[in-house]
Structure 1
Amino acid sequence: MDIKQKVIQKFNEQLGSTLKNLEGIYDFEEHLKAEKDEIEKSLSMASTTTPSKVKAVIENVECVNFEVEQLQEICLDLNKMIKETFNENDKNLELQEVVDKISQLDKSLSYLYFIRYVENISHEIEVSLLSGDDQSMITLYTTLTNISCQLQTSVCHHLVNYVHETLHFWYNIIKKKLSKEYNDLLKILKWPFCGTNATSSSTSLPETMTRFKILIEYLFHLQLPDETIKPVVTSVLLTDFAPISLPITFLVRPLRQRFVYHFTGAKLTNRQDKPEWFFTQILTWIKDHVQWVQKNVQPVADSIGFGHLDVKAEFMRALVQLAVEKLHSELPMVQYDDTLFAHLVDEALGFERELRETLLYPHTQPATIFVLTQAHIFVKWINMEKKYATEKMDAILSSNTAWERLNPDIDDMKVTECADAFLTLLTTISDRYKHLPQPGHRLQFLELQLELIDDWRVRLLQLLHENYEDPLTSLMPHILNTLHYVATVLEEWGVTVHFLQLHFFKKQFEAVENATDKGNDVKENIGEIEGTVFDEAVVLLRRLEKELINEISDSVALDVKAKSRAYRTDKWFAMQSSKEVASLSMTPSGCPMFQELATRLHILHNVLALPLFNQAWKNLAAQFDQFLFEEVVLVNHFNNGGAEQLQYDILRNLFPLFGLYINKPESYFPLIKEACILLNILMGSAILLEEALNNDDKNVSAEILADVGVYKMSAKLALKVIGTRTDIIHI
């Protein structure tokens, strides 16, 4: 059925569905015949080649069959070998169990040998201890210490504990023995060198010192491994103090006993209002003993491989720890009494400063500062600083001599007691906090200083309003001098290392806060910082200073102008010329004005600091130049005599008044100087100049004016000045 369908499908594909294609059936018949012939031909050819192909296939099948049989034999052999190997492995497992047991027994034996070794060392230490052989005893103890150190990473915890306990056992016994002999030697050496023993440091017998140094060597070796030391700490603050070596501990012990005796309990020397007593005692002990310790203990440490220890620093640290313990115990009792608390803080800071700067106590070692920087103590401290600084500032400003000069004869800055005292107050605060290790703590004190500076500026403003009268006779000049000096000093302080570091830390904190608020990362170029911490404060001080300078200058200018009415309204158009009088002299109407100017300049020079006076006379010169030009020159008319008289008043009277204080005063009066030139040039030159200036070319006008010595005045103003001349007819 399938073949029939295939034939029908083949015919349908060839002939299609139209009857017109039936003619192609003949062609299709021929095609099928040709296909049939090809198939028959290929079958006839296959009949001759098939036997050889079949033979090749048969041979290939036989070869494959042979290989399969060989592989089967190999598999059987492998299976047999695997079974034999499994049998042998079972025997090996039994043997491995025996080997493991032997290994375990060997380790156990080694464990027992190790315990026996430790016991032998312990026995030898006991023998050496009983026989008095200290050298062997210390050598054996050092061996035991090395063993303990090597066992730190061992998983045999019981063995580690056993060795540690053994080490501690002999440590305590040897320490007790050596400490007794060590203390006996210290008594012979009359240690410590206090009271009646103060002069005994250089009178020791050689034999005693030799034995003393041997004991120091033994005690240095008598150390527990760091991992086994569990220091007894009575306060969290004391965790910053590293353990002290035994020789130094025994040296400090009698001093500690004396300290506890004198500065605890109901002793008369233990007074809350006298903390300087125990601080001074510690400093005295350090000064009296540290050189002896350095001379006799440090060489021993260096010779036995303990050169990394600084025995001088250790000795000082042990005594400083006494002061820290005492300070820590005193603070809770005095923190509610401002006077006692302030005094205690002062003495603690003085103690720290003496330690660091005079006794060269290393900055890496802890002292009293970190006790004061505990959160609750530090808040109390900085509030107390603010309170006392405010009270001190009140006292400074209310003093009867606050505005007197410190050096009235030689000081161009005219420094007042008020300015000096205020800067001393700021310096004192800086000295008190500059040793604080944390930048954050120092920045809080800096903010206090900046707040005090601003408060001080406001108080000066209040004083100005309370004493407002004639500026030159009021407090204004003294306040001006004070402002100027303080601002100048603050600018100098701002570029010192101390305040530059604080400025850097301040900008860092601000950058971190801004970045945190915005959720951004802190930029890496945060170190590129300009300015100083006092920039804002100095800007406010300079602004107030400028306002007061302008006020004083305006006041003087008004006083001078008040004397000028007669001069301004004088008959400039009808004055005699130089040819008509024997010699020119100052215009009579100008005497009161110039006299007032001279008096006021003299007062300004006497009451103001030199930089301030320079600002004041420049302001005054600018105002007076403008005033004479506008109120005398432009509103009057001048004949030849009037022009000559004005020029004489300016050149021979005005300029010399300012010439007492400056060189070339004429450069500060450009308008009136050039007006005198224009008023006194020859009439013909003046007419030509007027005609030329009426030209609109500005460049030409400037050149023409420069030819007659006029450089600052514009052509328009020059025409107005020429227009005041009565000898020229103006059209």
Structure 2
Amino acid sequence: MEDTDLKQNVVYKLNLEFGKDIKSIEKSHDLYKKLQEEKNSIEKSLSLASSEVPSKVSAAVKGVEDTSLEINRLIDKFDALSSAVGNQLTNSEGIAIQLQEYIDKIDLLERTLAYLQCIKTIEDISKSLESSLAEKDDLKCVELYVSLCSQNKVLQHSKCQHLVSFVSDTVHFWHNLLKQKFSTEFEAVLKAIKWPFLNVVATPPPDALHRFQLFTEFLLKLQLPEDLLPQPVVTSTLLTDFAPLCLPISLLIRPLRKRFLFHFYGTRQTNRPDKPEWFFTQILTWIRDHEKFVSQWVQPVLNMNNMHPISAKLEMMRGLVQLAVEKLHSELPHLKYDDTLFSHTVDETLGFHHELRESFGYPSSQPSVIGVLTQAQIFVKWIHMEKKYAREKMDAILSSDTAWLPLGTPELDELRVTECGESFLTLLLTITERYSSLPQPGHRLQFLELQLELLDEFRVRLLQLLHENLDPLSPRFIAILNTISYLASVLQEWGGLTHFLQLQYYKVQFDNASTNQGTGSSELEGLQGTVFDDILGLMLRMKDELITSLCEAVMMDIMARSREYRKDKWFAMPSPKELVNPTVTPSVCLMFQVLAERLHQLQERLSVPLFSEAWQTLARQLNQFIYEEVILQNNFNEGGAMQLQYDMTRNMFPLFGQFTQKPDIHFPQIKESCILLNLSKGSALLLRDTLRSCLTDDELEGLQEEEVLSEIGVHRLDAKKSIDVLNLRTDLTHI
């Protein structure tokens, strides 16, 4: 019973150790070694044990020996089982290899059968094509050709290159044969409808139009699949941008190409380098004469054949534009040595491009004649010529006898735009129009730099004119000031236009790239300023300096006429109350007269924004001058105070009243001084004492003095200045 329990225990532990995985039986060697070590340890300990338990030791030893025997038996069984499993796996791998070989052979046979079937199908299609050609069944020929192309599409990724070559060669053979046949018949139809239309668009007969559309459809279906299209032989990288035209459109273009080559190449009188407008006009005429026809008769065929993305009108225009590109590419390299011819050709090219886009809707995404102008050598020459002619034009503008005359009357032109300013802005605008259609931002930025250079040169030229000792009140000086102000206002508007905002965006990108800085979206979202900020800052500073000079000149005139008024006897003047009709002080009449004349003169000559800035500047300066040189430098009796107030409020303030409803707010020191000088004696004494108390008492200083002064309408003069003005009163001098 004990032996049975022991065995069961051993088996249980072995099952726990190894589980059901046969491969884990390899662990038995390790287990055996471990148990052997435990056995040796037990035997060693037993030799030292008491002799009083020999029976237990014997039993333990026997149990270990039995366990060792059981382990050895299991190891032998594992080795046998492992050998059997290994043999079985080897046999299974062999069977799998044989099975894969059979599968590969079957697959090869199936593919071979499929290839043979394709070859048979292609041969059948070819035979049917031969029969259809003999029977002149054009529709059947097209259908069989389409079927042949479908077979080619199926075999595109075939591993059998011989079969692929066979099919592609067959497609090419029938394509060339059918293309020649249908092209010949299509050209016969074109003659019947009198294509191309020259000068007068005829009305083709209905049967001819029906055949035209029929063969157009045949030619569309006859086009080679994309994978079989031959690589085009391109004589210039410019022409790689032109995708191949669909077959019927290329045949429509063919007679026009022949006429173009006949007239604009070789020794024909129509081939003149100085008359590029001739071939440009011819292309535009062909587009105008034929766009309606292709839209009416070709586009429906494209739509019926699920070719909606293709525009017949655009395809025709692309084919004709390509003629212009080829012609320009052959002409411009020779014309760049003649500035006049080169410049004229560039002008006509830009005009042609503009006409294409504006009148015929030619998309900017399509290749155009602009690509010829932006070739490296041509573009360098172009921008050099732009700079040369722009500077010559600027010289002519500035040297014109009528350069500084206004273009309109003061009543109609509030900005007083001069001929010089308007002509220069027109020059800049023309340059913008010329380069705005360039596709590459880098090219547009180079033209922008040219515009900024011209703006700065123009500003410097105006400064040079001002340094010729111009009188600030002279018409030339004021005209220059108006021009600078007008330019600045226009540049502020231009800076917000989409065109220049895009250039600012690209400029920031290029600047950051050149300094190895990132151009993350977060930086560009917070894009600040415009491309004109630098030059605009210089112009605005120049404008401010000129306004300052102008106002100083006016003030010098006023001050020169103010001596008698400043030295008048304000302390001994009779009271205006004694007079029947109060009148202005005689000594101020000349000063007011000059002021009125200068204000009228500036209003007539300065632009409205500039005059508004100028009269406000004059008001501030005049306010400070009278306050410091008339009021603070004199003493006033009651008559003098009342006369000063009459002169200011009834005579000088109204001179500015025509420009603002509240002229007195522009003369705060004068107005408040008059209030203080004309207070009743008692009120003036009380006010002076109160203000002195406020100044000497820390607790009352600040807030209370403002409250006291504001009660009588004094807000700009503080307590100390108010006391100074009150002390100018003769009735308070000895009190």
| TM bracket, shorter-chain basis | 0.7 to 0.9
* Gap change, CA 1:318 and 1:600, over 3 Å in 2: same
Letter in 2 for 1:430: T
Separation in 2 of the partners of 1:355 and 1:682? 83
**Matched residues in 1 for 2:669 and 2:82: separation?**
126
Q: In the alignment, what sits opposite 2:522?
A: 525
- C-alpha distance in 2, partners of 1:583/1:78? 139
Deviations 1:29-50 (A, max 9, x none): xxxxxxxxx999954652x567
Aligned position for 2:20: none
C-alpha deviation, 1:711, in angstroms: 1.8
Gaps of 5+ in 1: 1-37
Pairing 1:533-552 to 2, within 5 Å after superposition: 533-552=531-550
Offset of residue 610 of structure 1 = 1.1
The one-letter amino acid of 1:136's match is K
**How far apart are 1:89 and its partner, in Å?**
6.6
User: What amino acid maps onto 2:523 in structure 1?
Assistant: I
Cα distance in 2 for partners of 1:313, 1:666 equals 69
Does the alignment pair 1:139 with 2:143?
A: yes
Inter-partner Cα distance in structure 1 for 2:627 and 2:111: 115
Q: Paired residues, what number?
A: 681
Equivalent residue, structure 2, for 1:215: 215
1:168 to 165, 169, 172: 172
- Please state how far the C-alpha of 1:151 moved relative to its aligned partner: 2.4
What's the offset of the Cα at 1:369? 1.4
Does the C-alpha gap of structure 1 residues 486 and 69 become closer, same or farther in structure 2, counting only changes over 3 Å? Answer: closer
Offset, 1:574: 2.1
Q: Using the TM superposition, give the Cα deviation of residue 342 of structure 1 relative to its aligned residue in structure 2, in angstroms.
A: 1.3
Larger deviation: 106-115 or 705-714? 106-115
What's the CA shift string for 1:503-531, capped at 9, x where partnerless?
112112222222x1xxx544441212122
Question: Which whole-Å CA distance do the structure 1 matches of 2:302 and 2:704 have between them?
Answer: 93
Distance 1:274 1:687, change over 3 A: same
Please state how far the C-alpha of 1:51 moved relative to its aligned partner. 7.4
Assess, with a 3 A threshold, how the Cα gap between structure 1 residues 719 and 346 changes in structure 2: closer, same or farther: same
- Per-residue deviation at 1:112? 4.7
Residue type of the alignment partner of 1:531: G
- Are residue 605 (structure 1) and residue 607 (structure 2) matched? no
Distance between the aligned counterparts of 2:571 and 2:104, measured in 1? Answer: 136
Contact 1:125 1:137 in 2 (8 A): yes
Partner of 2:501: 500
User: What is the aligned partner in structure 1 of residue 265 from structure 2?
Assistant: 264
- After superposing the two structures, state which structure 1 stretch, 62-71 or 565-574, moved more: 62-71
- Residues 639-650 of structure 1 aligned to structure 2 (within 5 Å): 639-650=637-648
Is residue 462 of structure 1 aligned with residue 464 of structure 2? yes
* SS of 1:475 mapped into structure 2: helix
**1:309 paired residue number:** 310
- Structure 1 residues 629 and 82, CA, compared in 2 at 3 Å: closer, same or farther? closer
Structure 1 residues 150 and 547: CA distance shift in structure 2, 3 A: same
Q: Secondary structure at the match of 1:326?
A: helix
Give the percent of matched residue pairs that are identical in Structure 1 and Structure 2: 51
Q: Equivalent residues in 2 for 1:686-705 (5 A)?
A: 686-695=684-693, 696=695, 697-705=701-709
Native 8 Å contact 1:508 1:526 kept in 2:
no
SS in 2 for 1:447: helix
Q: How many angstroms apart in 2 are the aligned matches of 1:611 and 1:429?
A: 28
Structure 2: which amino acid aligns with 1:424? T
Whether 2:189 is the aligned partner of 1:185: answer yes
Shift of 1:501: 1.4
* Partner deviation per Cα, 1:371-413 (whole Å, 9 max, x = no partner): 2111211111111111111111111111111111122131111
SS at match of 1:366: coil
Quote the Cα distance in structure 2 between the aligned partners of 1:374 and 1:82: 72
Question: Could you say which structure has the larger radius of gyration?
Answer: 1
- Relative distance call for 1:474 and 1:407 in structure 2 (3 A) is closer
Measured after TM superposition, the shift of residue 564 of structure 1 is 1.2
What is the distance in 1 between the residues matched to 2:119 and 2:323?
Answer: 42
Q: CA deviation at 1:727?
A: 2.3
Residue of structure 1 equivalent to 2:131: 127
Match of 1:367 in 2: 368
Deviation at 1:251, TM superposition (A): 0.7
Distance in 2, Cα, partners of 1:160 & 1:429: 56
Q: CA deviation at 1:431?
A: 0.9
SS at 2:156's partner residue?
helix
Q: Is the 8 A contact 2:128 2:144 kept in 1?
A: yes
Using the TM superposition, name which of 179-188 and 651-660 deviates more. 651-660
One-letter amino acid matched to 1:635:
Q
Q: What whole-Å deviation, never above 9, does each CA across 1:623-653 have from its counterpart, x for those lacking one?
A: 1111112221222222222222222211221
2:240 equivalent to 1:239: yes
Q: How far apart are 1:683 and its partner, in Å?
A: 2.0
C-alpha distance 310-619 of structure 1, shift in aligned 2 (>3 A): same
Aligned pair 1:226/2:226, yes or no?
A: yes
Residue 712 (str. 1) matches residue 710 (str. 2): no
Deviates more, 1:395-404 or 1:119-128: 119-128
Give 1:437's aligned residue: 439
Cα deviation 1:482-511 (Å, max 9, x = unaligned): 111111111111111111111112112222
Q: Map 1:273-292 to 2 at 5 A.
A: 273-292=274-293
Superposed displacement of residue 279, structure 1: 1.1
Matches within 5 A, 1:34-433: 42-43=50-51, 45-46=53-54, 111-195=115-199, 198-200=200-202, 203-229=203-229, 230-408=231-409, 409-433=411-435
Structure 1 residues 729, 309: closer, same or farther in 2, change over 3 A?
Answer: closer
- Which residue identity is paired with 1:526? E
> d(CA) in 2 for partners of 1:436 and 1:40?
106
How far apart in 2 are the matches of 1:345 and 1:653? 64
Q: Distance in 2 between the 1:667 and 1:71 partners?
A: 115
* Equivalent residues of 1:679, 1:725 under 8 A apart: yes
The 3-state SS of whatever aligns with 1:153 is: coil
Partners of 1:513 and 1:423 lie apart in 2 by 31
Contact 1:213 1:300 survives alignment (8 Å): yes
- Tell me which amino acid in the other structure corresponds to 1:569: K
Matched, 1:586 2:584: yes
What amino acid maps onto 2:185 in structure 1?
E
| Residues 490, 538 of structure 1: 8 Å contact kept | yes
Q: Look up the SS of the partner of 1:727 in the other structure.
A: helix
Q: Tell me how far apart the structure 2 counterparts of residues 506 and 339 of structure 1 sit (CA, whole Å).
A: 32
Give, in whole Å, the separation in 1 of the partners of 2:629 and 2:268: 86
Q: Deviations over 1:175-198 (max 9, x none)?
A: 111111100110110111113xx2
1:459 positional shift: 0.9
TM-score with structure 1 setting the length: 0.87
Relative distance call for 1:268 and 1:574 in structure 2 (3 A) is same
How far, CA to CA, are the matches of 1:394 and 1:510 in structure 2? 32
**Contact 2:509/2:519 (8 A) holds in 1:** no
Offset, 1:307: 2.5
Cα offset for 1:698? 3.8
CA–CA distance in structure 1, aligned partners of residues 710 and 683 of structure 2:
13
User: In the TM superposition, what is the alpha-carbon distance from 1:96 to its structure 2 partner?
Assistant: 9.3
Pair 591,239 (structure 1): closer, same or farther in 2 beyond 3 Å? same
In the TM superposition, what is the alpha-carbon distance from 1:705 to its structure 2 partner? 2.4
Change in Cα spacing, 1:638 to 1:222, as seen in structure 2 (3 Å) is: same
**Paired residue type of 1:448:** L
**CA–CA distance in 2 between the matches of 1:313 and 1:355?**
11
Cα gap change, 1:590 to 1:76, in 2 (>3 Å):
closer
CA distance in 1, matches of 2:399, 2:720: 56
SS of structure 2 residue aligned to 1:542: helix
Residue matched to 1:561: 559
Alpha-carbon distance between aligned partners in 2 of 1:257 and 1:39, rounded to the nearest angstrom = 121
In 2: Cα distance, 1:112 partner to 1:281 partner: 56
Q: TM-score when scaled to structure 2?
A: 0.87
The equivalent of 2:9 in structure 1 is none
Distance 1:713 1:415, change over 3 A: same
Counterpart CA distance in 1 for 2:150 and 2:120 is 16
